[in-house]
Structure 1
Amino acid sequence: MGTPHNEAANGAFAKTVLMPGDPLRAKFIAETFLEDAQLVNHVRGVNGYTGTYHGTPVSVMASGMGMPSIGIYSHELYHFYDVDNIIRVGSAGAISPKLKLRDVVMAQGACTDSNYAHQFGLPGLFAPIADFRLLETAVAVARRMGVEPPVGNLLSSDVFYDKSGRTMEWGAMGVLAVEMETAALYCNAAEAGKRALTICTVSDSLVTGEELSAADRQTTFTRMMEIALETAVEMAKQP
């Protein structure tokens, strides 16, 4: 089996897949945390690996940047590779003054300026939300690790270089941070009857203009990765 974007064989992916945007971050997770990690996909340089974490099979594959990209990869993982859980692990820019750099944020829902959900032909606006079981498990894992994660809405935008200058208006409605993938991932999970969750690290703030250094990003992102991996282990224990 395979797709135009994924050369992996049947059964090559575990039931839970971590999805960072960057293929090199997928490689880092596999080499740092997984035992016996095997490269199962390398089409277009989008690295996909499967190994074990504390004895539990876990996969990690990059999503690329933006909703069209994660839309393709998550659809194929859900529909063609029998993946049950996708956990996005990425970065986000704070648009709420409640957030600090290095905060690990979990997306209960995803506002969006994208037209991605139009394809489903619904007679209104679909509200993309996380799977509660995944979210509840991840929050419990984070608390065990001494992390109290802010949980709420993220903004999934199609635009990185925003010429409108209106991104901060979402913050006035309680939206925590902005990124570019979650709404499409949550839509695909809903359509497939599967589970999805986004866990992001605040790497910069549109409120204060602060940014993490490269060294700080590596350290903070590692904590986010550990939360996601421990969540995968907990999900494997549940019926």
Structure 2
Amino acid sequence: MTIHIGAKPGDIAETVLMPGDPRRAKWAAEQFLTDPVCVNDLRGMLGYTGTWNGNRVTIHGSGMGMPSLSIYANELLRDYGAKTLIRIGSTGAMQPHVGLRDLVIAMTCSSVSTPSSTIFRELSFAPCADYGLLRAAADAAADKGVATHIGGIYSSDTFYDERPDLNEQMTRHGILAVEMEAAELYTLAARHGARALAVLTVSDHLITGDALEGRERESSFADMVQIALTAAFPT
């Protein structure tokens, strides 16, 4: 076990799906995995390991924001031998053509700062997805007929943002959506020689102010989890 993860050696699969909300990790494990077993509940952060189509998978919460994700991703990669990390979560659309319930697959992630920023000093590192995962996710989304957008997203380090000027520039430069974790995830995967991808469901829209209700979120998130699993284990 580590400081933040109570799993024993061998409890964590090489492929880990990472929702922000630990309760969403529990929901996804119960809905999609065969014989899921809770392998972590330290500090209320839940992780489950089971199988999907015969493939061993862990679904583990990351918490909200890049500092929290950085803790769990570092330990999963460094101490438990994870090789593939896929973020599954919600995102806010920043383009008029991106609609509620649409899927956003993040090719790149812009950010103002991340926990890894101090390592690079004056360098602006460009975090990007693993291409094999991205292509597999795009194919899986097309097979399911889910409206999908692939491109750059913005990983913010604040939820209650008071920079409308920055949001305007993100929209102007084609950023599809905003969330709070993927830039650090992609950076850590690069550092540890692992694969990473963010598959996101649009739950609200920064331009129109529209947002999904609770039940609508659950049904839309199911597509996202299915596509992430299919991307991790393409047939």
- Alignment TM-score > 0.5, same fold: yes
Corresponding position of 1:196: 196
Once residues 175 and 93 of structure 2 are traced to their aligned partners in structure 1, the CA distance between those partners, rounded to angstroms, is 9
Are the counterparts in 1 of residues 114 and 183 from structure 2 also a CA contact under 8 Å? no
Q: Secondary structure at the match of 1:152?
A: strand
Counting only pairs closer than 5 Å after superposition, residues 1-239 of structure 1 correspond to structure 2 as 2-121=1-120, 123-166=122-165, 167-234=167-234
Whether the aligned pair in 2 keeps the contact of 1:131 and 1:195 (CA below 8 Å) is yes
TM-score, normalised to structure 2's length? Answer: 0.96
Write the distance in 2 (CA, Å) between the matches of 1:152 and 1:185.
16
Quote the Cα distance in structure 1 between the aligned partners of 2:21 and 2:99. 23
Kindly report structure 1 stretches of 4+ aligned residues shifted beyond 6 Å.
none
Shift of 1:115: 4.0
In structure 2, what residue type is equivalent to 1:72?
I
Letter in 1 for 2:171: G
Distance 1:165 1:123 in 2: 26
Contact (CA 8 Å) 1:53, 1:233: kept in 2 or not? no
Measure the CA separation in 1 of the matches of 2:56 and 2:80. Answer: 14
The RMSD of aligned alpha carbons is 1.2
1:197-230 deviation per Cα after TM superposition (whole angstroms, max 9, x unaligned): 0011000101111111111111101110111122
Secondary structure (helix, strand or coil) at the match of 1:150 reads: strand
Work out whether residues 154 and 175 of structure 2, in 8 Å CA contact, stay in contact via their aligned partners in 1: yes
CA displacement 1:150-186 (0-9 Å, x = unmatched): 0001100011111222323201100000100000101
The one-letter code of the counterpart of 1:181 is: E
- Which residues of structure 2 form unaligned runs of 5+? none
User: What's the offset of the Cα at 1:119?
Assistant: 3.0
1:36-86 deviations in Å (ceiling 9; x for gaps) = 100001111110000001111111000000000001111111111111100
The aligned amino acid for 1:200 is: L
Kindly indicate whether the alpha-carbon contact (under 8 Å) linking 2:48 and 2:60 is maintained by their aligned counterparts in 1: yes
CA distance in 2, matches of 1:115, 1:105: 21
Given that 1:39 and 1:49 are in contact with CA atoms closer than 8 Å, whether structure 2 keeps it comes out as yes
CA contact (8 A) 1:168 1:206 kept: no
| Cα separation, 1, equivalents of 2:233 and 2:218 | 23
- Distance in 2 (CA, whole Å) between partners of 1:108 and 1:17 is 19
- Percent of matched pairs sharing the same residue: 45
CA distance in 2, matches of 1:152, 1:232: 19
SS in 1 for 2:48: strand
SS at 2:141 equivalent = helix
Q: Could you tell me how far 1:107 is from its partner in structure 2? A: 0.3
